[in-house]
Structure 1
Amino acid sequence: MKGRYLSLAASGAALCLTAVTLTGCGAVDGLTGDNEVTLRVVAADYGDNPQNSSAAYWKELADGFHKDHPGIKVEVNVFSWSEVDAKVAEMVKAGKAPDIAQIGAYADYAAAGKLYSTAELLSVKTEADFLAPLADAGKVKQTQYGMPFVSSTRLLFYNEKLLADASVIAKDAKGWQPKSWADLEAAAKKLKGAGVPTPFALPLGREEAQAETMMWMLAGGGGYTDNEESYSIDSADNARTLEFLRDKMVGQGLTGPVEPGKLDRQAAFEAFTKGEVGMLNGHPTLMKQAEAKGVKYGMVALPTSDGSQQPAMGVADWVMAFKNGHRAESGKFLDYLYQPKNVTAFTDKYDLLPATTTGYQAKQAATSGPALRLKPFLTALPSSRLYPVGKKSWAGVSEDIKQNIGKTVQPGGQPAKVLEDIATAARAADPR
């Protein structure tokens, strides 16, 4: 995901495998011996070391598919997240697009007419199984091209000990339920008074500024787009959200010693695991990182500006199929990929949320194991809002946000002006 929460693979080298044996990574023609069709797949690596690389999952998947469909081989090239999108772009530019790609964005390829629609690929059962907000995010002009692969939502994490020591919560409390930004401000002031270095970490650095910003905008009743999916970056609600952060959080010294525009997500996570941060927005990966360091934490929905209910932010990665003349074969493989057992195998391995209704229901029904602790994230998923990834302009808009949004919360920052500049460029790149 752009602004994703997953670790990059330890090695940048591609891991190449086929449905049967490991092979080289050269270009492969559509037909092999005995008239078998070979599907070329490019996928991202969700592991953080060679031992838990996604290559093992894809090999097992390809082996199982080939056993059921002996006329179709599947060759999968697995690349680290730091390079997979660029690798696919290079292949497409060279006229050697893969049949299927599992990467971070699809809209540019869909707008260029290079992708099959999901209706051309999937069985009715598979297509209908995608969670509605994720399926909608995969559409360009009302036609779905992007198939959500995995997803996540975000929650507010807090350090139980730090909040108890600062008398934000009672030492025997079983949880904390802040409702409004006033509750956050009051808690952050108590944490500051108790000597906590960073009462509330606000990472608006390049790593994930677009994610942190969207979480706060949604909580303030705004967002990047309106109900008609037109850009509304410069809305009054969004300006008020950033003014709150500038004046109440940053302005009162409640966000720590590092300027938000220079603080990256992972650095904030690491500070949380060291007991230096009282509160911050996080995703499932932070659970493991905190537990590994013995930090006891709680998780709640990010409070809203006035205590009213607002949607959480969701994030998804995407699968797409290029028009290489293998529509039927690609469709069969994708139907296999989205079988419940295969969805569950991947999401369980990496503590991710499923993109399908059957996968969601299976995790909701879990009474033990990894799925149990993901339930707070699952609860937020069906009503979550995603980045406007269906707009081919989104990549550029996201970069604009990364470069400029941190300025809005500096002393003397001008949220309305910065938002207006970003919105003007966004609308010019995506005229309706």
Structure 2
Amino acid sequence: MTLTLTGCGSGSGSDGEVTLKLIAADYGDSRSNGSQHYWDQLARAFEKKNPDIKIDVQVYSWTDVDKKVENLVKDGHAPDLAQIGAYADYAAKGKLYSADELLSIPTQADFTTSLAEAGEYHRVQYGMPFGASTRRLFYNKKLFAQAGITAPPQSWNDIARDAQLLKAHGVKMPFALPLGPEETQAETLMWLLSGGGGYTDSIGKYRIDSRENIKTFNWLKDDLVGKGLTGTDPAKLNREDAFQAFTEGKVGMLNGHPTLMKQAEDKGIDYGTVELPGINGKAKATMGVADWMMAFKQGGHRAEVGKFLDFVYSAKNVEEFSGEYGLLPVTTSASQAMLADDKYSKLHGFLKQLATAEFYPANKTSWPMVSKTIKARMGAAVGPRGNPAGVLTDLQNMADTADNAAQ
């Protein structure tokens, strides 16, 4: 739901009334459940309790929202609040309030620890988590039964064996591996984690060309793609298309996030989910993804912004938003409420993983460039002429250069 923005920056009316401008991303999959409805209801409820503060929300698609905020900031018309995909660039340029300048102590302390830490730039929290998700392996129960598979995979060997059985029974994509340009950085991180590696080490330095990461992509190239178990060229398969194929019953297994559950149920797919398999058992961690709320200093309404955010992050509001859009709560109080509610039982497996999930290095201003390059390169690395070690080494060198330039 993309609305036309007629003005930006906050303002004060003649009677002392303050209007806060918020640019937000759309989580809905149709006009009827677009995020504008959520924000309008939330804003009206807040204004009823705080008649001297008005909230003006404009919602944009994920395709447009980050660029919209970037252009507004560049033109000197930063919104008071933005709920988008990345915060580090703005924090590095001193444009954001820190979380402790805005939120009450109970509100800030309520953030899930792993998410709060992922929102830090130079050990100060500027990014306030808004929506979160983790990843699990999805499998088609009907296809598994037809292939004689009695239990979901727990290790890479299980994946390869099950994929061979699915292939033998005519499944078009035994394991869907979306390494196309849409979201390759996500699929890559899931596999790196399952192989005991990741994008960075324990102190936040890039380690893209680690021995573990090279081993992981060699296995994907030789034991999955090379044996025809992905059914299509991973470099040409986007996540959206992989999800679509799963909902059409053409995919045996794939890595997915909570939104895929509703998509599969709507198409009558009987599916199951398990923790990501690793080399010799469950992966050391799963991937977590968070979107971010941030507050710009330009408008100067720190107190009003803080009051609104305390309202936004109340347990009731966080739980309602997460439940509406199939996301995970970003606060401890809302997470506990969701875990205690059987209505959300299918999200419980994803939610229990959140505390130990590993996130993109979004606190690095170099990450957008690194992510863009991963999208462009990793799909070809597992192809017939691919060279995983060479690609990962090139990525490491590029990442180090970008990281050093950002210091």
What is the TM-score when the length of structure 2 is the normalising length? 0.97
Q: Find the partner of 1:379 among 352, 361, 364.
A: 352
The corresponding residue for 2:382 is 409
Distance 1:27 1:182 in 2: 54
The corresponding residue for 2:267 is 293
Please list, as runs of the form range in 1=range in 2, the aligned pairs for 1:145-164 lying within 5 A after superposition: 145-164=126-145
Matched, 1:312 2:293: no
Q: 3-state DSSP class of the match of 2:68?
A: helix
The corresponding residue for 2:362 is 389
Matched, 1:37 2:26: no
Query: Would the alpha carbon gap of residues 263 and 50 (structure 1) be closer, same or farther in structure 2, given more than 3 Å must change?
Result: same
- Say whether the 8 Å CA contact 1:15–1:78 is kept in structure 2: no
Distance 1:148 1:50 in 2: 25
Distance 1:187 1:27 in 2: 54
- Say whether the 8 Å CA contact 2:18–2:52 is kept in structure 1: yes
Q: Find the partner of 1:126 among 101, 107, 132.
A: 107
Q: Which residue type is aligned with residue 91 of structure 1?
A: L
Query: Would the alpha carbon gap of residues 282 and 418 (structure 1) be closer, same or farther in structure 2, given more than 3 Å must change?
Result: same
The corresponding residue for 1:250 is 225
**How far did residue 15 of structure 1 move?**
6.4
**How far did residue 151 of structure 1 move?**
0.3
Matched, 1:94 2:69: no
- Say whether the 8 Å CA contact 1:116–1:321 is kept in structure 2: yes
Query: Would the alpha carbon gap of residues 259 and 123 (structure 1) be closer, same or farther in structure 2, given more than 3 Å must change?
Result: same
- Say whether the 8 Å CA contact 1:366–1:372 is kept in structure 2: yes
Query: Would the alpha carbon gap of residues 87 and 246 (structure 1) be closer, same or farther in structure 2, given more than 3 Å must change?
Result: same
Distance 1:73 1:287 in 2: 37
Matched, 1:328 2:309: no
Q: Find the partner of 2:245 among 271, 289, 296.
A: 271
Distance 2:194 2:8 in 1: 47
Post-superposition CA distance 1:142-178 (Å, at most 9, x none): 0110000010001100011111111111xxxxxx342
Distance 2:188 2:290 in 1: 17
Please list, as runs of the form range in 1=range in 2, the aligned pairs for 1:11-410 lying within 5 A after superposition: 11=1, 13-14=2-3, 25-27=6-8, 29-169=10-150, 176-256=151-231, 258-307=232-281, 309-324=283-298, 325-367=300-342, 369=343, 371-410=344-383
**How far did residue 68 of structure 1 move?**
1.5
Distance 1:283 1:45 in 2: 17
- Say whether the 8 Å CA contact 2:113–2:355 is kept in structure 1: yes
- Say whether the 8 Å CA contact 1:102–1:317 is kept in structure 2: yes
Distance 2:228 2:382 in 1: 12
**How far did residue 308 of structure 1 move?**
5.2
- Say whether the 8 Å CA contact 1:42–1:102 is kept in structure 2: yes
Q: 3-state DSSP class of the match of 1:430?
A: helix
Matched, 1:423 2:404: no
**How far did residue 266 of structure 1 move?**
1.1
Distance 2:259 2:38 in 1: 19
Query: 5+ unaligned residues in a row in structure 1: which ranges?
Result: 1-10, 17-24, 170-175
- Say whether the 8 Å CA contact 1:66–1:73 is kept in structure 2: yes
Q: Which residue type is aligned with residue 103 of structure 2?
A: L
- Say whether the 8 Å CA contact 1:245–1:409 is kept in structure 2: yes
Q: 3-state DSSP class of the match of 1:345?
A: helix
**How far did residue 66 of structure 1 move?**
1.4
Distance 1:77 1:153 in 2: 27
- Say whether the 8 Å CA contact 2:120–2:363 is kept in structure 1: yes
Q: 3-state DSSP class of the match of 2:355?
A: coil
Post-superposition CA distance 1:19-68 (Å, at most 9, x none): xxxxxx32355211301111111111111221111111111111111122
Post-superposition CA distance 1:366-420 (Å, at most 9, x none): 12x2x11111111111110011101111111110000000111011311111011
Distance 2:123 2:310 in 1: 22
The corresponding residue for 1:20 is none
The sequence identity of aligned pairs, in percent, is 55
Distance 1:416 1:42 in 2: 41
**How far did residue 360 of structure 1 move?**
0.8
Q: 3-state DSSP class of the match of 2:12?
A: coil
**How far did residue 179 of structure 1 move?**
2.0
- Say whether the 8 Å CA contact 1:15–1:55 is kept in structure 2: no
Query: Would the alpha carbon gap of residues 167 and 44 (structure 1) be closer, same or farther in structure 2, given more than 3 Å must change?
Result: same
- Say whether the 8 Å CA contact 2:196–2:283 is kept in structure 1: no
**How far did residue 430 of structure 1 move?**
1.1
Query: Would the alpha carbon gap of residues 309 and 271 (structure 1) be closer, same or farther in structure 2, given more than 3 Å must change?
Result: closer
Query: 5+ unaligned residues in a row in structure 2: which ranges?
Result: none
- Say whether the 8 Å CA contact 1:231–1:427 is kept in structure 2: yes
Post-superposition CA distance 1:205-235 (Å, at most 9, x none): 0111000000000000000010011111111
What is the TM-score when the length of structure 1 is the normalising length? 0.91
Q: 3-state DSSP class of the match of 2:7?
A: coil
Q: Which moved more, 1:201-210 or 1:411-420?
A: 411-420
Post-superposition CA distance 1:114-169 (Å, at most 9, x none): 00100111111011011111111100110110000010001100011111111111
- Say whether the 8 Å CA contact 2:318–2:329 is kept in structure 1: yes
